[in-house]
A and B are shown apart, each in its own frame.
Chain A
Amino acid sequence: MNRIIILLSLLINFIDADNRSDQVITRQGQVSFFSYTSVENIEAKNNQVLSIIDFSKNEIAISMLMNAFVFKKSLMHEHFNESYIESDLYPKATFQGNIIDFDPLAEGIQTKMVKGTLTIRDIAKEVEIKTSIENNNGTYLITGDFEVVVKDFDIKIPPILAPNIAKIISIKFRFEYQPYEQ
């Protein structure tokens, strides 16, 4: 009986330790986007992006509040939230995917593809993003950039403002992960 208890507690401990090392989290990931046109450049940053990676399956999940993007001008912020993203209706953008062929135990920088679904305004798109992943003794830094086509997400821009907003928006991200305390 005693042996069973010891075995069980060992097993629980093992699972526990396993969980701890398998997941990393950031609550303060940074996502920024840029729209370059000859009329004006628009840039916004979100510094409160949540992301969790589960290394046992190499799964990555990202979630952010669209109204937490900070712009240079409040008018841009207003247009973005009220007319384009409609953040009252669609408050979050998410990404769910896998890091392909990633070895979480290898130290240093690896360049890997992340494949998954990006959801903005409840419209899901399959994307493939080249990312750089740096493992520094159990903390991970993931950076990269990619492009999003405004039309893909059914974002309606009034003709009068069309010259001010790029058709393709570039997006940059930087996530610094810490081990996730279960």
Chain B
Amino acid sequence: MNKKNKITFSLITLLLLGGFYIYFEFYSYPRMDINKVSTEIKTSSKNLTASFIKNEKNANSIYKGKIIEVEGVVKEVTFLNNRNTVILYGDNKHSGVLCDMQSNQMMEIKKLAKGQKIMLKGVCKGFLKDAILLNCMLINQQSNE
């Protein structure tokens, strides 16, 4: 009986340790695939920047930390600092939407042209001079091609 207890105990410990290992190694990486999470809010780049300019606090409470889908027109595509970034025109000349793309989007964004209308999805982080979206991916590509 005592021996049996020991075996079950060590088995449980092993399972727990294994579980922790798997959790830390695999699940704690932030490389979330935006493709697999569903959109919480849909908007346009004009609306998004306008609401941040109008009332940043309010807009933060609506958009910050949320997965949002944004429709907008490409202003610029940059590869600065080894990042793939798409900037969308905003409500005015000075503000836009800065979208940091997932690394698997590289080929797709190279095909983008200034002035092209696109739709993308990402996590809204807040606003500086532009609204900032991370982990972005293009969606509805088929309608552009």
Contacts and interface: CB of A to CB of B under 8 A. Distances in A.
Interface of A: 25, 27-28, 30, 47-48, 50, 63-65, 67-68, 70-75, 77, 91-92, 174, 176, 181
Name the residue among B60, B64, B65, B81 with the largest chain A CB count within 10 angstroms.
Answer: B81
Name the residue among A27, A73, A77 with the largest chain B CB count within 10 angstroms.
Answer: A27
Binding site secondary structure of chain A: strand
Contacts of A71: 30
Contact of A65 (B32, B93, B128): B128
A48 B87 CA distance: 12
A91 B60 contact: yes
B93 A75 contact: no
B81 A73 contact: no
The 9 closest A-B pairs by CB, nearest first: A74-B30, A50-B128, A75-B28, A68-B125, A30-B81, A65-B126, A73-B28, A48-B132, A28-B80
A143 B116 CA distance: 34
B29 A176 contact: no
Contacts of A181: 93
B128 A27 contact: yes
Interface residues of B, number: 24
Contact of B129 (A27, A30, A74, A75): A27
9 contacts: A50-B128, A64-B128, A67-B65, A68-B134, A72-B29, A72-B30, A74-B29, A91-B60, A174-B81
Contacts of A174: 81
A28 B128 contact: no
Contacts of B81: 28, 30, 47, 174
B59 to A, nearest CB: 12
Contacts of B60: 91
Interface string B42-79: 00000000000000000010001100000000000010
